Amino acid sequence: MGLTPEDLLARVAALLPHATVLPLGDTRGQAVVVVAVDRAEASLRALRDESALRFDFLADLSAVDYHGRTPRYEVVYQLASHPHHHRLRVKVPVDGPDPVVPTASGLWKSALWAEREAFDMFGVRFAGHPDLRRILMYPEFEGHPLRKDYPLNQRWPLVPERDPITEPWYPRTEGR
């Protein structure tokens, strides 16, 4: 096993002086840190590259919609370290009708698809993502189903059938 959660949080706090470290008593003993959105990219990069922490594995990225609360959304990164075997949860609160978070896909490639899903389900945009489009829902879908204000019984009319040749879902190769 790697560092204890106490040691891990002490190191994280030293590395990220602007971040808020949540007390372990409130988090069931799991290491959690809250980072402001404008410092998110630099913080994640530091966590990945710092040799004592080495969070080289982005296990998961998702969002939570705390409807009725400000800031409304939280983008949640589950980081883990293969060399040291420790885990850290990074939460980035973000608000507004069109929430934007910098992409982590330059740091971990697993963020490429995870961010597409968070965008699809919550409408959180990831600035700098090379290919931000829906992944689980179809392109014609309107709204973001995991938002708390998405109507549960929403039904959409059937999507008109697309001709995949004339209207492909991905950009066509140039210069044919």
Partner 1 sequence: MRRVPGSTAPEQFYENQRGDDEIMEIQMGPSHPASHGTIKFNLKLDGETIVEVDVEIGYLHRGFEKMCEQGTWNHCFPYADRLNYASPLLNNVGFALAVEKLAGLETPERCQYIRVIAGEISRISDHLTCLGMGASEIGALSAGFYMLEAREFLYDLVEAITGARLTVTYCRLGGVTNDLPHDMRERTATAFASVRNVVRDCDKLLSRNRIFVDRMAGVGTLDRDEAISLGLTGPLLRAAGVEYDVRKAYPYLVYDRLDFMVPTGSNGDNYDRFMIRMVEIEQSMRIVEQALQQIPDGPVMANDPRFVLPPKHEVYGSIEGLMNHFKLVIEGQKVPAGEVYVATEGGNGELGFYLVSDGSGRPYRVRVRPPCFYAMGAVGRMLQGAMIADVITTFGQVNMIGGECDR
**Nearest-angstrom CA–CA distance, 55 and 88:** 8
| Residue 17 or 176 having the CB closest to partner 1 | 176
Q: Which of 70, 157, 166, 176 binds partner 1 (CB under 8 A)?
A: 176
**Nearest-angstrom CA–CA distance, 114 and 12:** 24
Question: Cβ-count burial of 79 within 10 angstroms (0-12 exposed, 13-18 middle, 19+ buried)?
Answer: buried
**Nearest-angstrom CA–CA distance, 157 and 173:** 31
Q: Which of 89, 101, 124, 132 binds partner 1 (CB under 8 A)?
A: 89
Q: Evaluate whether 94 touches 71 at the Cβ level (below 8 Å).
A: yes
Q: Which of 5, 15, 56, 128 binds partner 1 (CB under 8 A)?
A: 56
Does residue 78 bind partner 1 (CB under 8 A)? yes
Where do contacts with partner 1 occur on this chain (CB under 8 A)?
A: 1, 26-28, 30, 56-60, 62, 64-65, 76, 78, 82, 85, 87, 89, 108-110, 112-114, 117, 121, 134-138, 145-146, 152, 164, 168-170, 172-173, 175-176
